[in-house]
Amino acid sequence: MNAPRVTGPAHRRTLPAVWRHGMKVASVAREIPEEAPLALTFHRETYAVMMGTPADLEDFAVGFALTEGIVADAGEIAALEVLEHGQGIELRMELAAPRLAALTRRRRRLAGPTGCGLCGLDSLAEAVRQPPAVPAGGDVTADAIASALRAMEPLQRLNAMTHAVHAAAFWTAARGIVALREDVGRHNALDKLAGALARGGQRAADGMVLLSSRVSIEMVQKAAMIGAPVLVAVSAPTAHAVRLAEAAGMTLVAVARRDGFEVFCGAERIMTEARAHVA
């Protein structure tokens, strides 16, 4: 598996007082996740500031640039630095000339008359933008979905310690779980996974993305931007997320538990064992 890399401390130990039935009973050691401001900058201009877990930050930067459509390929990021400042961490990126020009035009289009950033009708359209259609193919069996979810759980090491972070993983039939990334933010976890796949030369079209979180519209957008045909989540989707997944030709599986799952769109990719043997 593509192993995660910690850039800074991802968690720390605390000693909270435990109360039960209105009385203090003990103090116990508990690990809690770290959270830091992460500034994503392009040519030293800030594009976004996110709160996130300070681990796998190169993956996060590359994945964010890909899932937000700032670049189409990781190779279009000419340089990437992770710089620690007193207030947080800067993920400083330099883009190839054509991509920089496109980003400049995009920023001008989205800037409102007050200079507040995402304003007006263009910004509303950006928030619900239709991602490209995902590739055809990518059929999976019900047993494969169940086994992928079982394999994902023990790999969520930060969550096992803290019970406070989300995970995004990628599974293929040939290799099982290829990569898994965790973060206090579910969007960040998916961006980190997208970056890990791109940096490792792994196509998202070759397997399925697994989420420990609910499925909002942004999660569908990000998964579609990297070409993932199958998205599986343990919690339910929003109605808008289902509409977007359907429009992108994606298979959206949610409420995925040990005893089964629900397919909200793209059911044609889910095979029975009998059909899998015939294929």
Domain boundaries, the chain: 36-127, 140-278
pLDDT at 254: 97
pLDDT at 113: 43
User: Are the folds of 36-127 and 140-278 the same?
Assistant: no
Say which amino acid occupies 178. V
Tokens standing for residue 205: 């079209």
pLDDT at 210: 98
What averages of pLDDT result for each successive group of 10 residues across the chain (279 residues)? 70 92 91 95 93 97 96 96 93 94 73 44 70 95 96 96 97 97 97 98 97 95 97 97 97 94 97 63
Could you name the CATH architecture of 36-127?
Roll (3.10)
pLDDT at 202: 97
pLDDT at 87: 87
pLDDT at 278: 54
Q: Decide: 92 and 227 in contact? Cβ < 8 Å.
A: no
Q: Decide: 109 and 123 in contact? Cβ < 8 Å.
A: no
Neighbour count for residue 131 (Cβ, 10 Å): 20
Q: Decide: 33 and 11 in contact? Cβ < 8 Å.
A: yes
Residue 50: CA count within 13 A, CB half-sphere? 21
Homologous superfamily of domain range 140-278: Cytidine Deaminase, domain 2 (3.40.140.10)
pLDDT at 6: 56
pLDDT at 115: 39
The CA–CA distances, whole Å, from 267 to 70, 142, 147, 250 equal 31, 11, 18, 9
Known catalytic membership, residue 116? yes
From the candidates 25, 28, 83, 116, give the one annotated as an active-site residue: 116
